[in-house]
Structure 1
Amino acid sequence: MNTPESVPTTHRLRLARTLLRILVLLPWLLLLLAGSYALVRFVPDEPVVHADPVEHFKYGSTGGERASGFPYWIWQALPTVCAEHLPGPGYASLGLIFEEGRDLPVGVSKRRHLGIDRVFLNCAACHAGLVRDTPAAPARLVVGMPAHRFDILAFQRFFFECAAGPTFSREFIVPEIERLSGGLGLVDRYLVYPVAIALMRERLLMLRARFGFVSAQAPWGPGRVDTFNAAKVLFNFPVQRLPARERLGAADFPSIWNQRKRMQRDDGERMELHWDGNNTHTEERNKSAAFGTGTTPPTIDLAAISRVEAWLLDLGPPAWPLPVDKTLAARGAALYAHYCADCHGASGSDFAGPKVGHVTPIADIATDPARLDSYTRDLAVNQATLYAGYPHRFRHFRKTWGYANMPLDGIWLRAPYLHNGSVPTLRDLLEPAFARPTCFVRGGT
């Protein structure tokens, strides 16, 4: 039987035990809540999906955001924070194309990864451009054509120089993100973005050092890229110690229409692809190109890449938009059939020709060898290790000794001409080399 004096004591003991249980369980409860938050926030890996194949090409992910993506709000903040490293206002000054109502340019995709939206380049950054049917007509976007305005080296240098400067820090970037986004939560303001800024800066400075050899090169200009020297960096080649002729292979972006027709040539073999014909399989060529969008073998989004590949099989260029003089065209057709068709196809839609898709030796062409020299046997051997252990391991890259004869589909959209973009117009291309312009402006619309 409880006495009046023992009741408060018993109550206090029960209360103490309850508090003790709470104190014991509270850390576990907090851990459970934190773990649940982290699970919901940081585990999902979700790209922005576009049902329409054209929109998917322009804005869909290749998987590059996983390893190489820039946090979306940092991407949006940097043109203001590092404006001195841009040639003009925003990313448009680098030649990226913005469609009305879009917050990202054509060729930039978005994916939710590790708790934040990340963005990076996709195929359209290099393979979509603007054209005007007449000087007074509005510019229209054409997918599959070379991105003749995009200055990818200036794009690269913008991020490298920004990261090396004093404003690439949370003190400058977080307030700009707050202004643009309308405000950040406590976790984002004090944890997520300060960490993201530090990690992004560290990675950019590492890449800046590894790509230091590029700083000694003259600007490539818009519409051009040095594809395979970037690959040498990824394979840890000592690029600075390579022969000078191997260190600069900048060439024009190609068009990418009619991929199905490029799978076979007249002799039944596959066409030799890339400017130098160093691969005959579009599937490998596409996965190799995806490295330029930030992918790696573990991070590439194969389903997304496959969607683009399937769509490109039969995507053709738009027709020439202006009237054609049929009399002149008939005269030109006879000349073309006699002098050009064997190497470049019967027409822009008929790729038949005994030399189409074959490599012509550099000794016969006697043209600029820089792009050819930059791709070496050592690089081809290293590329054969890519995707080792996967069903799609690279097996078809090899060194060649010339440039491939290409079909001329959509040729009116592919200026300037030749692999190095050294000829401004088709009319100039028909002139002897000594009579062609030696200086012209490129990258306009």
Structure 2
Amino acid sequence: MLRVLFLIVTVAVTTRSSAQGADANPIYVDQGLDWTAAARADFYVRDQGSRLITLSWMQALKQRNGQPFLADGLKRYGYLLNPGSKAGLPIGFHASGPEGFQLVGMTCSACHTRQIEVDGKVYRVDGGPGLVDFYALLRDLDKAVGDVLASDDSFASFAASVLQSATPDIADVEDLRRQVDRWYLRFHTLMVRALPKNGWGVGRLDAVGMIFNRLSGLDIGPPPDFMIPENIKTADAPVRYPFLWNAPRQDKTQWPGFAKNGSDILGLARNVGEVLGVFATFEPKRQGAVINFLNGNSTNFDGLSELENLVKRIGPPKWPWKIDAALAIRGKMIFERDPAEGGCSGCHGIEDGEQRFPFIKTWRTVVQNVGTDTREYDVLAWKAKTGVLNGAYIPFATAPLKETDQILDILATSVIGSIAEHLLAGGVSSNARVATASDPGSSETPESLGLVRLPPTLQDLVTAFDAVSTSEAVKKAKRKGAEKASRGRLPPWGAYEARVLQGIWAAAPYLHNGSVPTLAELLKPSGQRKSQFSIGRKYDIENVGLAATQEPLSETLSVTDCNDINSGDSRCGHEYGTSLGDQDKKALIEYLKTL
């Protein structure tokens, strides 16, 4: 009996060690010659300006089981080991600043690096949608700091670790307490008001909702805490992380397609909006009749530009297993059929998109309603108090913000104002600014305030978020939705982008909200798709997507049908290809592996 037990333990330890070794040394899928080891290493840690928490604090925090918060390098949330991190942080996390005062931040590879497992081998897909649980990380970080502040004894232990002294100076402990109290007030307020009770699930996040909440709830209120808590709403419209390869080439981006894209300046706008959502410091300040968007702004504009250059180098991952060439040729013919006959190229093929300055060709990004979940459109309709930005506008570009306004317009003004002020800082006089807090009834004009018109190279910024038209379109679409639906037509409310499908095999689960586990499942009518499936890194290369059986610690996602299309979790819609025969479906999937 002891021998059997020994063998079981030995096998378990060997399997675990083997898995850990595979995690540390994965097989890197071919993503093109431009995607080098040096580019990859840079992508994993490049600072974009996120400032989540002080590193020494995070190192001193404890998990619920008493272990150090960083004991496993955050692997328990799905984040991937980064052997190059001296601080023990995973891929996508970095520590910036001088030794002893470093701040932990996140960069885009935290959410856009994927690891999958096939036949016991681990494969790395850079730029792929991460299978991470950001909700659990935020929730547990909030609790860990709350536990530290719960009693004098718990804080004393924390302070001794942070200050690296068994008997730290009382004044130093009191100063640390004030810093932690201020951080926790803001972070806890966001967590309590924004996080939904049931979480988002592994590989999903209400990104737009959290960006809106961070900006309007924590950044634009009055000092000293800059908060407007009532602006924070429950972020309950989770979407799956998109893949990054080819993202810079689309002419629109974000799942609802509200962000113009396809040039460096529009890419910067997209990325500045993103970093505001992952804890960049943003404290715009009113100076007379003018708004200073760069006051206390931690956005790393150079870092964001370099990240965009890196993303341009990430090629679509090449299918690393065998392909039935004859079957794939048949699948290509099906792909290129008319959509009414089950084809895909009408929405997902490569076609020229909108022209960008200077003479940049983009790929057309179709944005249309195909009957999928509509919850994210509720988020796009949010309004909020504008706080310090009341009246702010970009001269000759946007309308002044009202006291309460569309959050999308608040985001657009904040992003465009920050970029324009940063880029024009060295090119205009010291008295010239790019944004004003227009006082009602004032006789001053933009010209009299020394404000400048955006030069041609920045004109794309005016439509970066298509803010005004999108806000109006959202309201009109909701009003007309019931009328159109009653006539059997799908309203624009609930329209999402359809991307070029290169590398789509590595992007499961599918639909914008990650409600369908495999491509084979997506080719079934909505009513026949699984109502529940496990999410984990084990991959099914026949049905292409998440394997039916995952690791014991994987998460199960329950989804709703077409009767609850606004749940955030509906598997409804995208009925294209569902009427194909079994062999045609198999051929189509084989072709999709080749893209």
Is TM more than 0.5 here? Answer: yes
Residue 162 (structure 1) aligned with residue 141 (structure 2): no
Could you tell me how far apart the structure 1 residues matched to 2:258 and 2:229 are?
20
2:216 paired residue number: 235
Residue 136 (structure 1) aligned with residue 164 (structure 2): no
The counterpart of 2:501, out of the listed 392, 403, 408, is 408
TM-score of the superposed pair, with normalisation by structure 2: 0.56
Helix, strand or coil: the match of 2:260? coil
Residues 284 and 414 of structure 1: CA distance in aligned 2, closer, same or farther (over 3 Å): same
RMSD of aligned residue pairs (Cα, Å): 3.4
Tell me if the contact between 2:522 and 2:529 (Cα under 8 Å) persists in the aligned partners: yes
Q: Provide structure 2 residue ranges, at least 5 long, that are not aligned to the other structure.
A: 1-36, 219-227, 262-266, 283-293, 338-342, 355-362, 383-405, 424-433, 435-460, 475-492, 539-595
Could you tell me how far apart the structure 2 residues matched to 1:193 and 1:144 are?
42
Residue 368 (structure 1) aligned with residue 373 (structure 2): yes
2:348 paired residue number: 344
Higher Rg of the two aligned structures: 1
Please show how residues 123-272 of structure 1 align to structure 2 within 5 Å.
123-132=108-117, 134-137=118-121, 139-148=122-131, 150-166=132-148, 169-176=154-161, 184=164, 195-196=175-176, 198-233=178-213, 234-236=215-217, 247-262=235-250, 271-272=251-252
Residue 116 (structure 1) aligned with residue 101 (structure 2): yes
Helix, strand or coil: the match of 1:110? strand
Could you tell me how far apart the structure 2 residues matched to 1:81 and 1:252 are?
28
Tell me if the contact between 1:62 and 1:300 (Cα under 8 Å) persists in the aligned partners: yes
Matched pairs, number: 367
2:42 paired residue number: 56
The counterpart of 2:268, out of the listed 250, 267, 283, is 283
Could you tell me how far apart the structure 1 residues matched to 2:177 and 2:64 are?
13
Could you tell me how far apart the structure 2 residues matched to 1:85 and 1:220 are?
25
More helix by share: 1
Per-residue deviation, 1:85: 11
1:328 paired residue number: 327
Per-residue deviation, 1:333: 0.8
Q: Provide structure 1 residue ranges, at least 5 long, that are not aligned to the other structure.
A: 1-50, 179-183, 263-270
Could you tell me how far apart the structure 2 residues matched to 1:81 and 1:172 are?
16
Could you tell me how far apart the structure 2 residues matched to 1:156 and 1:188 are?
29
The counterpart of 1:358, out of the listed 351, 366, 372, is 366
Tell me if the contact between 1:224 and 1:250 (Cα under 8 Å) persists in the aligned partners: yes
Q: Residue deviations 1:301-351, cap 9 Å, x none?
A: 111111111121232122000010011111111111111001011xxxx45
Residues 342 and 207 of structure 1: CA distance in aligned 2, closer, same or farther (over 3 Å): same
Could you tell me how far apart the structure 1 residues matched to 2:409 and 2:101 are?
37
Tell me if the contact between 1:341 and 1:353 (Cα under 8 Å) persists in the aligned partners: no
The counterpart of 1:380, out of the listed 371, 389, 408, is 408
Could you tell me how far apart the structure 2 residues matched to 1:201 and 1:321 are?
50
State the AA in 1 paired with 2:76. S
Helix, strand or coil: the match of 1:419? coil
Tell me if the contact between 1:239 and 1:247 (Cα under 8 Å) persists in the aligned partners: no
Residues 435 and 80 of structure 1: CA distance in aligned 2, closer, same or farther (over 3 Å): closer
Helix, strand or coil: the match of 2:499? coil
Could you tell me how far apart the structure 1 residues matched to 2:165 and 2:148 are?
25
Per-residue deviation, 1:81: 7.2
Per-residue deviation, 1:415: 0.3
2:60 paired residue number: 77
State the AA in 2 paired with 1:151. D
- Sequence identity of aligned pairs in percent? 24
Could you tell me how far apart the structure 2 residues matched to 1:193 and 1:131 are?
45
Per-residue deviation, 1:293: 3.0
Helix, strand or coil: the match of 1:165? helix
Could you tell me how far apart the structure 2 residues matched to 1:284 and 1:114 are?
31
Tell me if the contact between 1:223 and 1:443 (Cα under 8 Å) persists in the aligned partners: no
Residue 97 (structure 1) aligned with residue 97 (structure 2): no
Q: Residue deviations 1:274-308, cap 9 Å, x none?
A: 10001112331121112233223521111111111
Residues 97 and 61 of structure 1: CA distance in aligned 2, closer, same or farther (over 3 Å): same
Per-residue deviation, 1:105: 0.3
Could you tell me how far apart the structure 2 residues matched to 1:63 and 1:300 are?
4
Per-residue deviation, 1:240: 6.7
Tell me if the contact between 1:53 and 1:311 (Cα under 8 Å) persists in the aligned partners: yes
1:433 paired residue number: 526
Residues 415 and 194 of structure 1: CA distance in aligned 2, closer, same or farther (over 3 Å): farther
Could you tell me how far apart the structure 2 residues matched to 1:85 and 1:369 are?
40
1:307 paired residue number: 306
